[in-house]
Amino acid sequence: MPRSAPLARAERLSFEALQHQPFVLYGPGFALNPLITGACREAGFTPHVAAHSSQVDFIIELVAAQLGVALMPRMIAQQRPQPLTRRVPVDGPEIFWHMALIWRRGAYLSHAAQAWLALAGDPEVRATSERR
């Protein structure tokens, strides 16, 4: 949120505390939008959307320009500090973002792709990589 916002002084916030804030959401079709709006509805309100962007850095700049607040995964927020914003953790409802890796079994996988899948925890790929 903008560092100058009164709520930015809080150590933690609830979703309910954000109900009167304008939101900057991701571009249409982005997987986090329905998760964010669903969490807002669960907290008892429909967010007022001030802007959309598919660029995380632009979303952060819109927040810095005091256009609204944005919810983003902790890892993304920590990687992009902006002096005119403040990251404030928001308590429940929790938002879980499920991601999936899809590939055609038996098809060629580069060494880099095999390493990524092994890192992600696919035991079949790990076994194939270990046999080489």
Q: What would the pLDDT profile of 10-63 be if each residue is shown by its tens digit?
A: 999 998 999 999 999 999 888 889 999 999 999 999 999 999 999 999 999 999
Model-level pTM?
0.73
For residue 1, being part of any structural domain is answered with no
Is 38 a domain residue?
A: yes
Please check whether residues 80 and 24 belong to one and the same domain.
Answer: yes
Does the residue 50 lie in any domain? yes
User: 86 with 27, same domain?
Assistant: yes
Shared-domain flag, residues 43 and 86 = yes
Whether residue 130 has pLDDT greater than 50:
no
Helix, strand, coil share of the chain (percent; to 5): 40, 15, 45
Q: Domain span at residue 77?
A: 6-91
CATH of the domain at 36: 3.40.190.290
Strand ranges, E, within the chain: 13-14, 22-26, 48-53, 90-91
